[in-house]
Structure 1
Amino acid sequence: MNIPGPEPRPDGGVGAIARAGGLHTYQLWLHAEFGPVVRFQLPGAGTAVSIADPVLLEATAHLDERPERLFSFLDPLFEAGNLQVLPADEHAPWRRLLLTVLAGRPSHERHFARFAALATGLADRWAALPSGGPVELQRELTGISLQMICGYALGGEVEDPDAVVEAFEMVLGDHLERLYLLPAAQAADRRAERTAQALAHLRATADGVIAAHRPGRRDDRSDLVGSLVEAGERPARIRDTVLAMMLAAHHTTGVAVSWTLHLLGSHPAEAERAGEELDRVLGDRAAPGYADLQRLPYLGMVLRESLRRYPPGPYGVRRTAGPLAVGGYVIPAGEVVFYPFWAVHLNPAYWPEPERFRPERFTPEESAGRPRLAWIPFGVGPRGCEGARLATVEALLLLAVLLKRFRFRPEPGHPVVPIERFVLWAADDIRMLADPRTA
């Protein structure tokens, strides 16, 4: 049986994606039009099969190969080979090392006080703004997230987090403009020059972090550089891993918290309930302790619902090693399998009224019986996000500190439009007013 989908176009699908507003929104249209399994033209891959049903996705969860061309936009960041497309035998030990560094609860607890100091420092800066705002959530929160991961896994800080975030956006945005044939914001020669400068800044930043590393932290399993040295990794791979960590970690947490505050700003009843929970648990304290996170179940549901509505990574891709039967269709060997996380999260068969923001979806009662892969903000299978647990701890802490202190309102007249920028970004940031809150 042929897999349904739109008719092929001479432009390889670029026009259809552009007209839809991006690959993330194109996926919503594809699955609404053609059903849970769709074949479509994917620039850089020829064609791909997209699957938006969590039950059918189970048949693909074991896939452990990524198509190299689709991750070529990350090539400039790496010297020793693109870390996102390592073959399985090389990827598995590298992944185990990252999980050891990132997923350990003792390490999370050890660094928690430092995370809390960064979060309260951010809140203090926002409180000092005229009339409580406006604040640019994405810029501010990705910068704080970058500082958190550098202090946690890299043993230091970066001097100018905003410049690092901007440099990553320049390098990745340049690729996306060329991939989708988007109008460039500036002349090609000037754009190439700025991209080269941004890349040089990123490499210099990584070199500075590595140079500042001091041995002797082996009692702390969160020491990424030390773990890589101990594992015998060569200097180029160490720098590549540092850059990959800085990129992935600041995007995940900063973007997730930004979208959560955006949603709460438009849902005052849910924001008030979260604030009341924080008042009960924290009392007069400005920040939670590590153990307090387990005592904030509603805040946890708020975060999970936000990650459903706006997953930081809106999609993923794998490649089949052999023929694969999915939903009555056979996907041939070597085909690209597309994971449309956003479309999965908005599938009305598993999420009634999917556009509605309703944290109660994640109560134990409502979660019971829901397919395992109906909620996949951190990816699927052996290539899923190694830092998911750490990102969740950081996000809950930031939300607790900020929601205890402020009520957030959208800035009047400022549109918030999700766009594809490696993550689910907002086109002109998310600008909100932060009003002081009294418990």
Structure 2
Amino acid sequence: MNIPGPEPRTDGGVGAISAAGGLHNYQRWLHAEYGPVVRFQLPGAETVVSVADPVLLEATAHINKRPERLFDFLAPFFEAGNLQVLPVDEHTPLRRLLLSVLAGRPSHERHFARFTAMATALADRWAEQADREPVALQKDLTALTLRMICEYALGGEAPDPDGVVAAFEEVLTEYLGRLYEVAAPDAGEDRSERAARALAHLRSTVDLIVSAHGSADGTDKSGTDKSDLIGALVEAGEGPARIRDTVMMSLLAAHHTTGVAVSWTLHLLGSHPEAAERVADELERELGDRAAPGYRDLRRLTYLDMVLKESMRLYPPGPYGARETTETVTLGDYEIPAGATVFYPFWAVHMNPDHWPEPEKFRPERFTPEEVAKRPRLAYIPFGLGPRSCEGAALAMVEAELVLAVLLKRFRFVPVPGHEVVPIERFVLWAADDIRMTVSPRT
């Protein structure tokens, strides 16, 4: 059976995506118009099939290959090969190593106190401007989460943390500018040269930290453990270039995603004050006079957890993903040939009314254990699915819940009147003119 979809266009689909206001919006329109399985055009890919039905997605969950052309823009970022499209035999052991660190409780506990100090410092700064000028949530929170992931990935050992953060922002601006063809005011050779210098600075910083752990041939000099990302890479015998690449990928993947997840959550709570008060009541009940939770407290913040998950359903930080079939895949009545790009429209999956009644509404109670048990496993996929899903998912949830707890224990958030929040896609689901809110102390 032929897969439904719009008629092919001579521009390769660029015009349709642009007219919809971006690929994230185009995906939602496609599935509303043509159903759960859609064929469409995407620059850089030949056969593209998008799947928004969580039951049908199960047939694709084993796929362990990403389409290389769609990730070409990141290739210059890496030295030892584009980590986003590593072949299976290289990717599988690296993923296993990353999960042993990123998903492990020891590494979360090791960095939790520093994460708490960073979140508290932001809250202190916001307290100084409370009730006066609005805060720009995404600007401040992505800066916070970049500092947090630098602390995590570099072990707090970077000689100039602020310089590392500035260098990474320089690199990220250049590479995302290439992807979205956004011209900076100083676009041109100067910007490219600055980005190249910043990238070299980041790599040399990682080299200094690696040398402190031991030689990159696996000879460990510091008794590293599995809570230390660089130490684990050194211990596994990874070469210097692969270690640098892996640290850079961790910064890239974790920087914007956690910050925007927290931003969208505060945005939704600002327009749902009853939910915000319920979170505050839970924090008061569980934390008492303490301004921040301990690591073990997070498991008791069940309503905060539901609020964050519902926010990531409505505004998934990464709005989509992609895989490439290596054999024919059957999806219901359709057959997807080998070599096709299978598109995962996370936002459209999360808005599928068959599994999310009144999907546009903010309802944290959708994530009670009883409600979760009623839905297909892949109805909620903010961190992707299968063997290429996000290795840092558990770490991201710890960071996000900690930051939310610190901020919501201390402040009320009120939307700025007249400020329109428009989701756009800039590698993550961003807000076009940030999310501006007024903060006021709870006490």
Task: Please tell me whether the aligned partners of residues 206 and 242 of structure 1 are also in contact (alpha carbons under 8 angstroms).
Answer: no
Task: Please tell me whether the aligned partners of residues 210 and 225 of structure 1 are also in contact (alpha carbons under 8 angstroms).
Answer: no
Distance 1:416 1:164 in 2: 29
Report the counterpart of residue 171 of structure 1 in structure 2.
Answer: 174
Distance 2:228 2:433 in 1: 35
C-alpha offsets along residues 173-208 of structure 1, whole Å, 9 cap, x if unaligned? 322334xxxx74558xx3454244234313412422
Report the counterpart of residue 194 of structure 1 in structure 2.
Answer: 191
Query: Percent identity of the aligned residues?
Result: 68
C-alpha offsets along residues 58-90 of structure 1, whole Å, 9 cap, x if unaligned? 000000001110001111211111000000000
Distance 1:358 1:136 in 2: 25
Cα offset, 1:167, TM superposition: 2.3
Report the counterpart of residue 62 of structure 1 in structure 2.
Answer: 62
- Greater shift, 226-235 or 366-375, is seen at 226-235
Match of 1:381 among 382, 386, 391: 386
Cα offset, 1:328, TM superposition: 0.6
- Greater shift, 119-128 or 6-15, is seen at 119-128
1:371-410 to structure 2, matched below 5 A, reads 371-410=376-415
Report the counterpart of residue 159 of structure 1 in structure 2.
Answer: 162
Cα offset, 1:433, TM superposition: 1.1
1:93-108 to structure 2, matched below 5 A, reads 93-108=93-108
Query: Could you state the TM-score of these two structures normalised by the residue count of structure 2?
Result: 0.93
Residues 1:145 and 1:161: Cα distance change in structure 2 (over 3 Å): farther
Task: Please tell me whether the aligned partners of residues 13 and 43 of structure 1 are also in contact (alpha carbons under 8 angstroms).
Answer: yes
- Return 5+ residue gaps in structure 2 as ranges: 214-220
Cα offset, 1:103, TM superposition: 0.9
Task: Please tell me whether the aligned partners of residues 314 and 341 of structure 1 are also in contact (alpha carbons under 8 angstroms).
Answer: yes
Query: Could you state the TM-score of these two structures normalised by the residue count of structure 1?
Result: 0.94
1:416-435 to structure 2, matched below 5 A, reads 416-435=421-440
Pair 1:436-2:441 in alignment: yes
Report the counterpart of residue 19 of structure 1 in structure 2.
Answer: 19
Distance 2:414 2:328 in 1: 50
Distance 2:339 2:302 in 1: 43
Distance 2:349 2:164 in 1: 33
- Return 5+ residue gaps in structure 1 as ranges: none
Report the counterpart of residue 355 of structure 1 in structure 2.
Answer: 360
Residues 1:415 and 1:202: Cα distance change in structure 2 (over 3 Å): farther
Report the counterpart of residue 252 of structure 1 in structure 2.
Answer: 257
Distance 2:66 2:95 in 1: 15
Distance 1:164 1:344 in 2: 36
Pair 1:120-2:120 in alignment: yes
Residues 1:139 and 1:324: Cα distance change in structure 2 (over 3 Å): same
Distance 1:304 1:141 in 2: 18
Report the counterpart of residue 217 of structure 2 in structure 1.
Answer: none
C-alpha offsets along residues 410-434 of structure 1, whole Å, 9 cap, x if unaligned? 2223221111111111122222111
Aligned-residue CA RMSD in angstroms? 1.7
Distance 1:269 1:207 in 2: 49
Task: Please tell me whether the aligned partners of residues 136 and 435 of structure 2 are also in contact (alpha carbons under 8 angstroms).
Answer: yes
- Greater shift, 339-348 or 148-157, is seen at 148-157
Task: Please tell me whether the aligned partners of residues 101 and 153 of structure 1 are also in contact (alpha carbons under 8 angstroms).
Answer: no
Task: Please tell me whether the aligned partners of residues 265 and 307 of structure 2 are also in contact (alpha carbons under 8 angstroms).
Answer: yes
